[in-house]
Amino acid sequence: MTPNESESHPSISSEAKNHSTRRDFLLKVGVVINTIAAFMIGIPIIGFIFSSLIKSTPPVWFSLGPISKFPEGTMRRAVFENPYRREADGQTSRVTCWVSRIQGDQFKVFAANCTHLGCPVRWFAQSQLFLCPCHGGAFYANGAYAAGPPPRGLYIYENKVENGELKIKAGVLPTLGNPV
Amino acid sequence: MSAKEKPITGTLVNIAMWMERRLHIVKIWNATAGHPIPKTSASWFYTFGSMTLLCFSIQIITGILLSLAYVPSAAEAYRSLEFLNFHVELGWLLRAMHYWGSNCMVIVMFLHMTQVFLWGAYKYPRELTWISGVVLLFLTLAIAFTGQVMRFDSDAFWGVGIGAAVLGRIPFIGGQLVSLLLGGAIIGSDTLSRFFAFHVFILPGCILALVSLHLRLVLLKGINDYPKPGIQVNRRTYDATYEEIIRKEGIPFFHGIDKDLVANGILLVVIVSLAIFVGPNGPGIPADPAVRISDARPDYPFLWIFAAAALAPHGSELLLFFVLPIIATLLLIGLPFYSNQGEKHFARRPIAILVVLLTYLGIGMLSYAGLTGPWSPQMEAWSGAPTKREFIQARTPLELQGALLFQNKQCRNCHALGGVGGRRGPDLSDIGTRMDEPLLVRQVIQGGGNMPAYGNNLSEQEVRALVSYLVSLRPPHTIPAQIPSRPEKTERVSTGEPAKQAQSGR
C-alpha cells in the first residue's frame, strides 16, 4: 500500500494491514490453483485442436483389385474407397487414381491430383497426355511434367503385386508438402 | 373514454419509467444515437459502413434459419441443400438471400474501405478503426470462403483441394498445415465439420467482437469530418479542431441517418431481387472425387485470386501465395502509420487515386479472366467442337489427314479454330500467316510455351500431315509465313525424342 493511499483512508490502515496479509495469501493460492486449472483445461484443448497432427494417418497398403483388370500397355482409371473412410464421409471417400500397366507386373500408379493446385487430371489416350481441367497443366504418360503451371510431375503411389492383386500405398491427399 | 384511457397510459408510463430507471436507456441512447457528429459527415459517401452492417445482419438471420435444415456432414450436406431448395417452404429463397447477401457484403465492404481510404478517414486519430476494419475484411473473406465450402458440391470440394494444395506449398510445415486444414487424411467429413465450426461459430464470433470494437472506436473518435482540399491533419491540433467542428456544426447521429436509410433500403431490395430472380447458387455437381469434372471455379469474391494463380509465371507461386499477401497485409495495416497526417482530400492525393484505380482495374480484370477462364482447356472440344467449312474445304488429302489429327490428338482442347475450342493456347485460325513449316514442326515436336511436346506421340508422317494442315490455316489471298531471318530452307527436322521442356519458353 502506498503512503498516499493509507493517507486517504487513515481509519482502516491498521486493520487493512492484517487483512492484506490474508488477502495476499489467498491471492497467491488463487493464482496457483488457477494456473494448475488452466493447464488442466488448456493442454487437452490444445491436444484436441492439433489431434490431426498427433494421430498420424500414414499411407497404408491396400488392393486395387486383380491385375487382370489392367491390360498391359494401357492406362486405366481406378476408383478406390479411402482406407480411412468413415460413414459420414459419403462419396468423398472415393478416390481416383490412374493405373499404367507397363508390362507384366510392372505398374505405375498416379494420383489424380494435379501437382499445381490439386484438381483431378484426365488421361487422353490419343495424345498420350494427362490434362488438368483447371489451369491446363499437362503430364506425359510416365507422369513426368509436360507443360503448364505444375511445379513437378504427377504424384506416384508405391505399388506391388501380391497374389495377382495390384496393391498401392495410399490414403492421404497428396500435396507438395506431403507428396504421398 | 379519457377516464378509461388514463390509467392504461399511466401504467405504460410507469412501466417505461421503471425500465428506464433500471436500464438507463436514455443515457445509452444519448451516448450512441444521440452522439454528435459533424454535419458534413451526413453524406451519401458515408453510407457504405451501415450497408456492410446490414449485409452482416442479413447473413446472421438467414444463416441461423438455414442451419435449421442444413446437415454438416460430407455424406448429407449436399442432400440437405437439395432438400432446402426443393422441399422446405421458401428454403431456396433463404439460400439465395444468404448467397447474394454474402456477395453484396464483400462488395459493399470493399466500397466502404475505398471510401475511407480516399477520404483519408484512416489518418490520426482513427488508426485503430482502420486496422480493425482491415481485420474485418480478412474475416469476411474467410467467412465467404468457408461458406462456399458449406455447399459441398464439386466446386466446393475442389476449392478445398486447391486450398490444401496452396498450404502444402509452404516450406517445412506445409504437410502439417494440410492435415490441420483437412482434419484428417482426405477431404471428407472431418474437413466439412471444421469448416462448419469456422463458418458458424468462430468467424461470426470474431466478426461480432471486431464490429463492436469498430463501432466503439467510431463513437470514441468520432465520424470523420468531410475533408476539404488544403486542410491538413496535424496530430497536435486535430483533436481541438474536431471538437470545434462538433461544437459549431455538430448534429445528433440519428439526424444524419436519412441517407443511410435510403441506401440500405435500396441494398435490401437489390439483395432480395437478386435472390428472387437469380436464385440460389447450386449446389452443383455432387462432391464425388470419382466424377470427372471440367473445371472448378470459386465464388465471385475469389475469382481474381483463382485467375492470378493461373496467370502467374511458372515458379512464382511461393511469391504469389505467401510473399505478396504478407506484404499487402503489412501495407494495409501499416497505412495509418506511414500516412498518419497531412492531406485528407483525394483531390490532393494523386497516389491514393492511382492506387485505387490500379486495385480496381487489377481485381476487375482478374475477376473477368477468372469468370471466362481462358486458361482452362476445354476438355470435350476435341470430340465435341464443330469445325467450320472454311477450315476444311479445298484441302489436299494430306492436309485433311492433318485436320483429323488436329481433332484426335486433343489439339482442339487448347487451340480454337474460328473461336471454337479451348483458349489455353493461341487460336490457330490463321497460324499459317505467322509460322512456317520448320517452326511449326519444332513447336509440335518440342512443345514449349505451356504446350507439351508431341514428339513421342506422333509419327514422322503424322507430324507432316498435321503441319501441312496448320500451314494451310490462313485467310484467303494471304501468303504463307516467311521467316526473314532464315536465308534458305533448313533441313526438315525429323521426329525424335522430345526435348526437355524449356521453362524459358514461357
Chain-centre distance for alpha carbon B201: 23
Residue B75 in contact with partner chain A when CB distance is under 8 A: yes
Interatomic CA distance for residues A144 and A129, integer angstroms: 10
User: Residue B389: helix, strand or coil by DSSP?
Assistant: helix
**Separation of alpha carbons B54 and B62, rounded Å:** 12
pLDDT at B87: 93
pLDDT of residue B198 exceeding 50:
yes
CB B145 within 8 A of CB A147: no
pLDDT at A5 over 50: no
**Contacts of the segment B359-364: beta carbons below 8 A, 24+ positions apart:** B360/B114, B362/B304, B363/B304
Q: Mean pLDDT lowest for which of A4-8, A32-36, A62-66, B450-454? A: A4-8
- What pLDDT shows up at residue A56? 75
Residues of chain B in contact with residue A129, where contact means CB-CB under 8 angstroms, are 410, 452, 457
Residue of A nearest to B307 (CA): A135
Chain A residues 79-138 with CB within 8 Å of chain B: 79, 82, 84-96, 112-113, 116-120, 122, 124, 126-129, 131-136, 138
Q: Which of A136, A145, A151 sits opposite B414 (nearest CB)?
A: A136
The answer to whether residue B501 scores a pLDDT higher than 50 is no
B289 and A CB contact within 8 Å: yes
Q: Which three cell numbers stand for residue B473?
A: 490455316
Q: Does A54 touch chain B (CB under 8 A)?
A: no
Nearest to B294 among A133, A149, A176 (CB): A133
The pTM for the full model equals 0.85
Q: Sketch the domain layout of chain A as residue ranges.
A: 3-51, 60-170
- How far is residue B114's CA from residue A124's CA, in Å, rounded to a whole number? 47
Contacts of B187 in chain A (CB under 8 A): 92, 173
The DSSP 8-state label assigned to residue B405 in this structure reads H
**Mean pLDDT for all residues in chain A:** 86
CB contacts under 8 A, B 200-259 vs A, are none
So what's the pLDDT on residue B55?
96
Give the CA dihedral A86, A87, A92, A93, nearest 10 degrees: 40
Per-position DSSP letters for B139-208, written without gaps between them: HHHHHHHHHHHHT-BHHHHHHHHHHHHHHTTSTTTHHHHHHHHHSSSSSSHHHHHHHHHIIIIIHHHHHH
CB contact under 8 A, B158 and A119: yes
Buried b / exposed e across B348-378, counting CB within 10 Å, b at 16+?
A: bbeebeeebeeeeeebeebbebbeebebbbb
What's residue A61's pLDDT?
92
Distance CA B181, CA B168 (A): 10
User: Which residues from A are below 8 Å from B444, CB to CB?
Assistant: none
Residue with cell 507443360: A147
Decide: B122 and B335 in contact? Cβ < 8 Å.
yes
Cβ neighbours of residue B349 closer than 8 Å, sequence gap 6 or more: B118, B120, B343
B295 or A128: which leads in pLDDT: A128
Interface test with A, best of B78, B186, B285, B413 (most A CBs within 10 A): B186
Given a contact cutoff of 8 angstroms between Cβ atoms, the answer to whether A148 and B312 are in contact is: no
Q: What is the pLDDT of residue A92?
A: 87
Q: Inform me whether the pLDDT recorded for B134 exceeds 90.
A: yes
Higher pLDDT, B484 or A107: A107
Closest CA to B124 of B337, B340, B338: B340
Please list, in sequence order, all residues whose beta carbon lies within 8 angstroms of the beta carbon of residue B59, skipping any fewer than 6 positions away.
B98, B101, B102, B105
Find the CB nearest A120 among B293, B450, B453: B293
Q: Which domains does chain B have, with CATH numbers?
A: 32-228+238-290 (1.20.810.10), 381-505 (1.10.760.10)
Percent of chain B topping pLDDT 90? 50
Other beta carbons within 10 angstroms of residue B137's beta carbon come to 17
Residue B461 CA to chain centroid, in angstroms? Answer: 48
Task: Look at A78-87, B373-382, B399-408 and tell me which has the smallest mean pLDDT.
Answer: B373-382
> What is the grid cell recorded at B189?
467429413
C-alpha cell of residue A79: 476408383
Distance CA A156, CA A59 (A): 12
Q: How confident is the model at residue B256 (pLDDT cuts 50, 70, 90)?
A: confident
A147 touches chain B (CB under 8 A): yes
- Tell me the three state secondary structure of residue B210: helix
Residue with C-alpha cell 494435379? A114
Pick from B158, B382, B452: which is nearest to A138 by CB? B452
Number of Cα atoms under 13 Å in the Cβ half of residue A75: 21
- Per-residue confidence (pLDDT) for residue A55, from 0 to 100: 74
Residue with the bigger pLDDT between B473 and A4: it is B473
Question: At residue B415, what is the residue type?
Answer: H
Question: Residues A127-154: pLDDT tens digits?
Answer: 889 998 888 889 999 999 998 888 899 9
Residue A141 to residue A163: CA distance in whole angstroms = 27
Of the candidates A52, A127, A131, the beta carbon closest to that of B184 is on A52
What dihedral do alpha carbons B441, B445, B446, B447 form, nearest 10°? Answer: 90
Instruction: Report the complex ipTM.
Output: 0.84
Q: Give the containing element (helix H, strand E) for A106.
A: strand A106-111
> Which residue from A84, A148, A177 is facing B178, i.e. has the nearest CB?
A177
Q: Chain A partners of B375 at a C-beta cutoff of 8 Å?
A: 135-136
Q: Is B288 on the interface with A (CB under 8 A)?
A: yes
Q: Best residue in A92, A96, A115 to probe B by mutation, most B CBs within 10 Å?
A: A92
3-class state of residue B135 by DSSP: helix
Whether A136 and B158 lie within 8 Å, measured CB to CB: no
Output the CA–CA distances (angstroms, integers) from residue B109 to A72, A160, B56, B205, B243, in the order listed.
Answer: 58, 55, 10, 18, 29
Mean pLDDT over the full length of chain B: 88
**CATH hierarchy code of domain A60-170:** 2.102.10.10
Q: Both ends of chain B: CA-CA distance in Å?
A: 89
